[in-house]
Chains A and B, each alone.
Chain A
Amino acid sequence: ETGVTQSPTHLIKTRGQQVTLRCSSQSGHNTVSWYQQALGQGPQFIFQYYREEENGRGNFPPRFSGLQFPNYSSELNVNALELDDSALYLCASNRDFLLNEQYFGPGTRLTVT
C-alpha cells in the first residue's frame, strides 16, 4: 500500500449533477495530481496542486476543478456531469516536484447515468 487514500470507492451520479472526490496524500507529500482513466485507456492528467495552488493542468474543461487543503489533502470537483465523465479517477501524491517518486491511490470509480 502507498499511503494515498481516496474516497469514495465507487459512486453513481446522474447526468447534470455535481460530484466531489477526495484524496489524502501520503505523509510528507505536498503535491497531489489527479488523473482520469476511461475504460480501456491509460490515465490522463487532469491537474496538479502544489502547496494549495494549481500547478499545471491537462486538457480538461473548467467544470473540472480542484482544491488542496493546508494538510495537503485534495478534492476534485466535477460540475454538470456528462456520460463521458464515467471513469476511474486516480490521485497521486509526491513531495515537492519529485514526480519521479509519485504514489497512486486506489482510485474512485465514477459512473454517470
Chain B
Amino acid sequence: AQKVTQAQTEISVVEKEDVTLDCVYETRDTTYYLFWYKQPPSGELVFLIRRNSFDEQNEISGRYSWNFQKSTSSFNFTITASQVVDSAVYFCALLPTGTASKLTFGTGTRLQVTL
C-alpha cells in the first residue's frame, strides 16, 4: 500500500519569506515517481515537478526547489521569496511504476502568502 503524508495542514507566511512544504511517503515499490501539484482556488491541478526514485539530485526551478531524500522517504518543496500568487493548496503525490499503478495524493498543504 502507498501512503503520502503532508503533516502541515496550513502555513501562513509574509511575502518574501521562504517556506518549505513537507512530504513523507511510504511504499514497498523499489521504483516510483514523486510529484508536486499546485491547486489554485479555480481547482485545476497544476503540475510542478516529477522526480524518479532513481534520481536523488535536488532540483531548482526559479524560486522553487525540491529536496528528495530516499533515506528518509521525504520529498520536500521550498519556495524562496514567496509571493502572493503562490497562495494555493499544494499536493505531494506518489506513483509506483507498473501498468496498474495509480497516483496516491497527500491531503495537501494550504499556503497563504500575505503582504
Contacts and interface: CB of A to CB of B under 8 A. Distances in A.
Interface residues of B, number: 25
A90 interface: yes
Nearest to B9: A40
Contacts of A102: 103
A104 B105 contact: no
A48 B103 CA distance: 11
A53 B45 CA distance: 25
Nearest to A97: B99
Contacts of B107: 40-42
B43 A45 contact: no
Interface stretch (A11-19, A63-71, A73-81, A105-113): A105-113
Contacts of B4: 42
Interface residues of A, number: 25
A45 B102 contact: yes
B103 to A, nearest CB: 7
Nearest to B99: A97
A48 B102 contact: yes
Nearest to B106: A42
Residue among A45, A104, A105, A106 with the most chain B CB within 10 A?
Answer: A104
A44 B91 CA distance: 12
Given A105-B44, A106-B43, A56 B91 contact: no
Contacts of B50: 100
Contacts of B79: none
B43 A43 contact: no
6 contacts: A41-B108, A42-B108, A104-B47, A106-B42, A107-B44, A109-B43
Interface of B: 4, 33, 37, 42-45, 47, 50, 52, 91, 93, 95, 97-108
Interface of A: 33, 35, 40-45, 48, 55-56, 58, 88, 90, 92, 97, 99-100, 102-107, 109
